[in-house]
Structure 1
Amino acid sequence: MSNTVPLPPATEMQQAILQHHGAAFADFPAQPAPAPESDEPVYRAALAACSALGFIAQDASCLARAWAAQTRRLGFFDAAHWPDEPADFGLQPRPHAQPFAPCPQALGLYAVLPDAAWVGRMARAGVPTVQLRYKSDDSAAIAREVQAAVQAVQGTDALLFINDHWREAMAAGAYGAHLGQEDLDALTREELDELRASGLRLGVSTHGYAEMLRADAASPSYIAMGAVFPTTLKKMATVPQGVARLAAYARLMRGYPQVAIGGIGLEQFGQVRATAVGSIAVVRALVNAEQPEAAAGRLMHALRAGL
């Protein structure tokens, strides 16, 4: 490369990454490094370092490729700068060619709720964004509950997302749908085009770099990132991501509205808000509260105040 600074030895670059970032990710156990896909020295150094910092194989690979791209772009290796440039990760250039309909950049308090009655209750309490996460194998019951949730938010300003059941969301006229990574991956190209053409907003759950890149390929309306803290609500395939990772994810995905989710209660709002994520999703902090409306008020105040 012309106009570039000679690279240090790979072992020195690996150690420099660990020295600069080890404290931020100290809570994560080291992971086995995947087989390298390139002999590029920066890539190999970053792959080993990010694995040692606790990133699973697919995420360590994403980071290693991004660190190599960052080095090529800058013309020198910078161990101190954790990669956060979208182009270095291969994210789509903006504006996206086929984006989903937009939603507010800051969705505010995002209540994830088990049924339409809860949706209506929190919408009337002033919660700006609500999600129906209704679990059933009965297709007729699902359709009725989605329709009831749509009716429950009428007359309020709440934006209603439907978890998983995107066809029912389309039929009922919901504001948007939310899909997990596996559900997104399972959509055919035709189904994704149908969903986009319907005008529904789309939110996608992600649990690390590789999943964020896959979500970006669909150009969703917002990106959800988690689980930030331990949660008992569902079995997670990944460890809790923590605030340091969340902050790095937020910098990379800054072009999207972002929602932090997973084990977040009032006491964690300050540190989550400090990452610049524009929305915080809660479940137990509302549905397990003795006075849910009062709890919603406290959470909304904390989010607005940045407490």
Structure 2
Amino acid sequence: MSTPDTPDAAMASPMRGLYGITPEWDDTAQLVAAVEAAARGGLRAVQLRRKLATPAKRLEQARALRAACGRLGVVLIINDDWRLALDAGADGVHLGRDDGDIAQARQAGGPALLIGASCYNEPERARAALAAGADHVAFGAVFDSPTKPAAVRAPLSCLADAHRLRLPGASRPTRPAIVAIGGITPANAGQAVAAGADALAVITALFGASDIEAAARAFARAWTADPAGNSSSKA
């Protein structure tokens, strides 16, 4: 599948493919089992997003997912809290508008910590996040979102435009990974990938599915099919 990239602007980040975001489940065993099922279907990264849990429960689940993701080869991202990411040994953190300072997270976590930033529909916010130390940027909601029905809409053109962004200080032109979020389903996933998304962040259509492994497989086909759903040999 073609992308808006130029050959000298390779993406080095591991943030590509299906990127699950956890629901508000207190049952840690259920959460780990769901991530394992999604990984069997092609999940590449997961974000622990617990807005309502206690700090103790978040740490418990972060550590449980760290162990599971290590076995599965899945990237683990923690939402909101870079300190929790470091305490749990996670691969990275995702920071929204009010979730903390990117530069501080980069200084504390060093170059190995993956840092994502919510950029909504604002390319200037993405540029500022990259300058502060982020290495992947998320745009959305790209479709109507059942999780955040009032979320600002980001047109798919934001994803293509973001391919022109570059990480500062690289020895060669390197772009950030581009994450699409908001209302993504297997039916529309191919549109987001064709528009330029490297990773698709999904909550409901993955972890709310009756068969999580099958749902993950359906999403994974977005990277091997055109937007009309026709299979392709190109990745």
Which category describes the TM-score, using the shorter chain as reference length? 0.7 to 0.9
Secondary structure of 2:132's aligned partner: coil
Secondary structure of 1:305's aligned partner: coil
Aligned to 1:169: 85
Identify which of 164, 169, 187 aligns with 1:267.
187
Aligned to 2:196: 276
In structure 2, what residue type is equivalent to 1:281?
A
In structure 2, list runs of 5 or more residues that go unmatched. 1-8, 26-30, 167-173, 230-235
Identify which of 158, 182, 196 aligns with 2:98.
182
Q: Structure 2: how far apart are the matches of 1:225 and 1:249?
A: 9
In structure 1, what residue type is equivalent to 2:45?
T
Percent of aligned positions that are identical: 34
Residues 123, 286 of structure 1: alpha-carbon distance in 2 compared, 3 angstrom cutoff: same
Contact persistence 1:133–1:163 (CA under 8 A): yes
How far residue 261 of structure 1 moved from its aligned partner, in angstroms, is: 0.9
In structure 2, what residue type is equivalent to 1:263?
G
Contact persistence 1:181–1:211 (CA under 8 A): no
Contact persistence 2:143–2:184 (CA under 8 A): yes
Alignment map for 1:111-190 (pairs within 5 Å): 111-114=20-23, 115=25, 116-117=31-32, 118-183=34-99, 186-187=100-101, 190=104
Contact persistence 1:119–1:132 (CA under 8 A): no
Alignment map for 1:41-60 (pairs within 5 Å): none
RMSD: 2.5
Aligned to 1:288: 208
Alignment map for 1:1-307 (pairs within 5 Å): 103-104=13-14, 107-114=16-23, 115=25, 116-117=31-32, 118-183=34-99, 186-187=100-101, 190-196=104-110, 199-207=112-120, 208-234=122-148, 236=150, 238=152, 240-252=153-165, 255-306=175-226, 307=229
In structure 1, what residue type is equivalent to 2:178?
Q
How far residue 286 of structure 1 moved from its aligned partner, in angstroms, is: 0.8
Residues 12-65 of structure 1: CA deviation (Å, up to 9, x unaligned):
xxxxxxxxxxxxxxxxxxxxxxxxxxxxxxxxxxxxxxxxxxxxxxxxxxxxxx
Q: Structure 1: how far apart are the matches of 2:148 and 2:202?
A: 14
Secondary structure of 1:220's aligned partner: coil
How far residue 187 of structure 1 moved from its aligned partner, in angstroms, is: 2.3
Residues 170-190 of structure 1: CA deviation (Å, up to 9, x unaligned):
11111111111221xx32855
**Going by fraction, where is strand more abundant, 1 or 2?**
2
In structure 1, list runs of 5 or more residues that go unmatched. 1-93, 95-101
In structure 2, what residue type is equivalent to 1:194?
A
Give the TM-score, by structure 2 length.
0.76
Q: Structure 2: how far apart are the matches of 1:276 and 1:302?
A: 12
Residues 128, 232 of structure 1: alpha-carbon distance in 2 compared, 3 angstrom cutoff: same
Give the structure, 1 or 2, with the largest relative contact order (CA under 8 Å, sep 6 or more): 2
Q: Structure 1: how far apart are the matches of 2:141 and 2:195?
A: 15
**Going by fraction, where is helix more abundant, 1 or 2?**
1
Is the radius of gyration larger for structure 1 or structure 2?
1
Residues 117-162 of structure 1: CA deviation (Å, up to 9, x unaligned):
2333323443111111122352111111111111222321211111
Q: Structure 2: how far apart are the matches of 1:257 and 1:192?
A: 17
Give the TM-score, by structure 1 length.
0.59
Q: Which moved more, 1:154-163 or 1:130-139?
A: 130-139
